[in-house]
Structure 1
Amino acid sequence: MSTVSGADPALVADAVEFCSRLIRFDTSNFGGGRSRGERPCAEWIAQLLADAGYDPLVLESAPGRANTVARIPGADRTAPALLVHAHLDVVPVAAEDWSVDPFGGEVRDGAVWGRGALDMKNMAAMTLAVVCSLARDGIVPPRDIVLAFVADEEDTGAYGSGFLVREHAGLFAGVRVAIGESGGHAVHLPDGSRLYPIATGERGSAWMNLEAAGPAGHGSRPNPGNAVAALAGAVARLAQHRWPVHLTPTVAALVDGLSTHLGVDVDLTDPAGLDQFGEAAVLVASTMSNSLNPTMLRAGYKHNVIPSTATAGVDGRILPGAQDAFFATVDRLLGGRVSRTFVNYDEPVTARHDSPDFAAMAAALRACDPQALILPYCMAGGTDAKAFSRLGIECYGFAPGTTPPGFAYGDYVHGVDERVLVDSLAFGAAVLGRYVTAEPA
């Protein structure tokens, strides 16, 4: 089925079958608590794990919003445990734009098609294939492995990882390291080599509501306290602000590693200079600074009435270690007329790239691709790592996979005709299998 050298046919077949089956569960998450629900999918996973001899729990945070957790005992029960997590929910689709049924899980043209194929039912499928393989072959991992298949990552995580951390933290006792979404996937460089970036950081999220207040009045009369004007000015200042470059240790290591490997000298103040990194430029561009984007505006109800309030929604993203500078800048740009309140705030996440687990991930990748270049990177957005890190867990983005040059991986995530290549599932499952059965030195 796969052209990946040395791939275990049974492992690959399971990864493909499980990915297809997971896609056929419509777990669309519309945000704001509105969802098709993850429970049927979570229950299917629980039954699969139970059939393999494990002891899963299905934990419902709200009607239909379910999570499946299981602990696989390791050879050394006293060793720090590993968490492998994947979210079951997906973003909605406009089915009429697709060339296939987005929830059909069709396998054709060397790929599994459907919503969630890349984000991130592929990782859930590979994880299930690996642990079923361990059970089938009687292999005991060196340390406990905790599996968490969670709800609601595509919104705030409140019904998924947030719920588990808040209400069931005991399930993660002894866990010191976690792997989850993003990272470990091939990025093709201009010299023909392959970079496999492992996420050792995530920018924090600050979703805020802004509000300006002023006297209501008739639209035909002067109104120096106009709330709409005050808000519009503040939103414009925020949108026009150019955030300074702030290299975290993770991003600096990525830039230095790419520059050395490619033999280039990049001026980070010149956006065009990043083009020398080829496909890897996007890994750097979004994580050199904080950012803030206005996303919503609300005010008024009639053309000739000046409203007493005006509100806006903004999405702020914050680099590790840059929280104080971010909020000081926001407050300065808002001025005295506009206040801010949090809708959702998650601290940035950071992990070491000189740790034994990072080295074990790198070794697993190189075992499957001896020419792999391994470097750390910081995710521009966020994942369930933000919740799990609150338990003192060191969280990495490591969902390995591979694609040929020219495959528009990023365009398919949350996009039309999302699909994962069978070869990517084969490669990723092989890498995961090596990593979870290796004992970090």
Structure 2
Amino acid sequence: MSHPSAEDEVVELCSELIRIDTSNPGDHSGPGERQAAEYVAEKLADVGLEPKIYESHEKRSSVVVRIEGTDPERDALLIHGHLDVVPAQKDDWTRDPFGGEVADGCVWGRGAVDMKDMDAMVLAVMRERLRQGRRPERDVVLAFLADEEAGGTWGAHWLVDNHPELFEGCTEAIGEVGGFSLTLPNDQRLYLIETAEKGLAWMRLTATGTAGHGSMVHHDNAVTALAAAVGRLGEHEFPIQLTKTVRAFLEELCEANGTEFDPDDVEKTVEGLGPLKRMIGATLRNTLNPTVLAGGYKANVIPQTAIAQVDGRFLPGHEEEFFDTVDELLGEHVSREFVHHDIAVETEWEGPLVEAMAAALRAHDPQARPVPYCLSGGTDAKSFSTLGMKCYGFAPLKLPKDLDFSGMFHGIDERVPVDGLRFGVRVLDHFLDHI
């Protein structure tokens, strides 16, 4: 019986995964990941593996399987991806966000780049390799995870806390968001590999005052106190602080552009990145953004409490000073608590695994210039780093020069180029031969 090649199958796998709605609204009200987990488990079992589905909560399902390598003395590698996606409003899209349609050279739909593309690439590559009897030298653990879009509480965090034995021997990991190309105006092509990501602090702010009648003079108003604190947070700009990863990226960028790196004017350097400057620019400093505001229930009633939420992100090595600043800006009348809090991570841009990633990219794009970078958001790497793993973002894609790749994440009309998927399959296959 003949089977499609990994390059052909990856498109079908990506489309079929997108058609399984795994929207994660941040609670347990969505469809969950169970159907997608069963789909992935079936595809893995089809090539002789024995995957297991782990359910942390009703419908919150992850799949884990270990592929034994040819050298049992080697440390293991974890390859992880998440199955959930952020919600999408169909009316906002050009094409059905859960249609998985292939059109205009792309696979369209929610999750096309975040991150059912990588899930499909890993499935396609591993299915082909196992059919051909090509096992990697070291053990490889595959994890397809729930709940990443809400911080991984019911996915990676839950597995690390409750089933750490699944990752026994894993010293390194690859996942999202990295290995994608960025074509500069001079046609130099960088491939950004994530070696760091900012920490996460989603916070709920509460101001408490004295309830009363809206017609009276009132100096203890919770809404006023909260609004003032939110204004201070939203208007505050943290100073630029170059971490080792961000500095390395900027130096590589300047060298590729044929310009001199100026540490006193890094924002000018970032300005030349086009749409990607939003994401890279956010890694120059800590950030705070108010996102939710609520208080009161009637125009003539002063409420006793008012509540807001803010999204805070802090650079590796700068968490303590971040929270010192937050508390100073809040003042004495507003308290904070975490909606979700997670660490910043940073690892080294060196070693055999980094060399294998770089070599795989160059083998399939001779113009490739692999560079380290820091992600402004967060991934499941945070969870796995607590087990001592060196974590990298490596989901390789060769992208058209004019595609706003960073804008695809959580955006409308999310899509991934078919040629990019096929490139990613070739790169991952090469990479697995040299780990």
TM-score range, shorter chain: over 0.9
Alpha-carbon shift at residue 268 of structure 1 (Å): 5.4
Structure 1 residue 373 corresponds to structure 2 residue 369: yes
In the TM superposition, 1:97-108 aligns within 5 A as 97-108=92-103
User: Which of the residues 121, 139, 147 maps onto 1:126?
Assistant: 121
CA contact (8 A) 1:188 1:280 kept: no
CA distance in structure 2 between the aligned counterparts of 1:123 and 1:18, rounded to whole angstroms: 10
Give a deviation string over 1:65-97, Cα, whole Å, max 9, x none: 111100000111221111111111111121123
Greater shift after overlay, 55-64 or 210-219?
210-219
Structure 2 counterpart of 1:291, one-letter code: T
TM-score (norm 1): 0.94
CA distance in structure 2 between the aligned counterparts of 1:231 and 1:101, rounded to whole angstroms: 40
User: Which of the residues 316, 319, 343 maps onto 1:320?
Assistant: 316
TM-score (norm 2): 0.96
CA contact (8 A) 1:178 1:394 kept: yes
CA distance in structure 2 between the aligned counterparts of 1:208 and 1:283, rounded to whole angstroms: 21
Give a deviation string over 1:40-76, Cα, whole Å, max 9, x none: 1111111111110111001111111111100000111
Structure 2 counterpart of 1:68, one-letter code: V
CA distance in structure 2 between the aligned counterparts of 1:324 and 1:270, rounded to whole angstroms: 24
Structure 1 residue 425 corresponds to structure 2 residue 425: no
CA contact (8 A) 1:86 1:124 kept: yes
User: Which of the residues 203, 213, 234 maps onto 2:198?
Assistant: 203
CA contact (8 A) 1:213 1:310 kept: yes
CA contact (8 A) 2:188 2:256 kept: no
CA distance in structure 2 between the aligned counterparts of 1:273 and 1:143, rounded to whole angstroms: 40
Structure 1 residue 166 corresponds to structure 2 residue 161: yes
CA contact (8 A) 1:189 1:280 kept: no
Q: Name 1:60's counterpart in structure 2.
A: 55
In the TM superposition, 1:99-248 aligns within 5 A as 99-248=94-243
Structure 2 counterpart of 1:203, one-letter code: K
Number of aligned positions between the proteins: 432
CA contact (8 A) 1:296 1:312 kept: yes
Alpha-carbon shift at residue 422 of structure 1 (Å): 1.2
CA contact (8 A) 2:10 2:422 kept: yes
Ranges in structure 2 where 5+ consecutive residues have no aligned partner: none
Structure 2 counterpart of 1:431, one-letter code: V
Q: Name 2:336's counterpart in structure 1.
A: 340
CA distance in structure 2 between the aligned counterparts of 1:48 and 1:72, rounded to whole angstroms: 14
Alpha-carbon shift at residue 127 of structure 1 (Å): 0.2
Structure 2 counterpart of 1:289, one-letter code: R
Give a deviation string over 1:321-347, Cα, whole Å, max 9, x none: 000110111111111111111111001
Change beyond 3 A, Cα 1:279–1:371: farther
Which secondary structure state, in structure 2, belongs to the residue aligned with residue 365 of structure 1?
helix
Structure 1 residue 27 corresponds to structure 2 residue 22: yes
Q: Name 1:262's counterpart in structure 2.
A: 257
Structure 1 counterpart of 2:299, one-letter code: H
Kindly report the root-mean-square deviation, in angstroms, between the aligned alpha carbons of the 2 structures.
1.7
Change beyond 3 A, Cα 1:268–1:46: farther
Structure 1 counterpart of 2:6, one-letter code: L
Which secondary structure state, in structure 2, belongs to the residue aligned with residue 154 of structure 1?
helix
CA contact (8 A) 1:46 1:58 kept: yes
Alpha-carbon shift at residue 101 of structure 1 (Å): 2.6
**Percent sequence identity over aligned pairs:** 51
CA distance in structure 2 between the aligned counterparts of 1:284 and 1:90, rounded to whole angstroms: 23
Structure 1 counterpart of 2:11, one-letter code: V
CA distance in structure 2 between the aligned counterparts of 1:283 and 1:411, rounded to whole angstroms: 9
CA contact (8 A) 2:254 2:269 kept: no
Alpha-carbon shift at residue 411 of structure 1 (Å): 2.9
Ranges in structure 1 where 5+ consecutive residues have no aligned partner: 1-7
CA distance in structure 2 between the aligned counterparts of 1:340 and 1:76, rounded to whole angstroms: 50
Which secondary structure state, in structure 1, belongs to the residue aligned with residue 5 of structure 2?
helix
CA distance in structure 2 between the aligned counterparts of 1:342 and 1:132, rounded to whole angstroms: 41
CA distance in structure 2 between the aligned counterparts of 1:144 and 1:367, rounded to whole angstroms: 23
Alpha-carbon shift at residue 273 of structure 1 (Å): 4.7
Structure 1 residue 308 corresponds to structure 2 residue 304: yes
Give a deviation string over 1:231-280, Cα, whole Å, max 9, x none: 11111111111100011100010011111221224565574553234455
Q: Name 1:393's counterpart in structure 2.
A: 389
In the TM superposition, 1:70-109 aligns within 5 A as 70-109=65-104
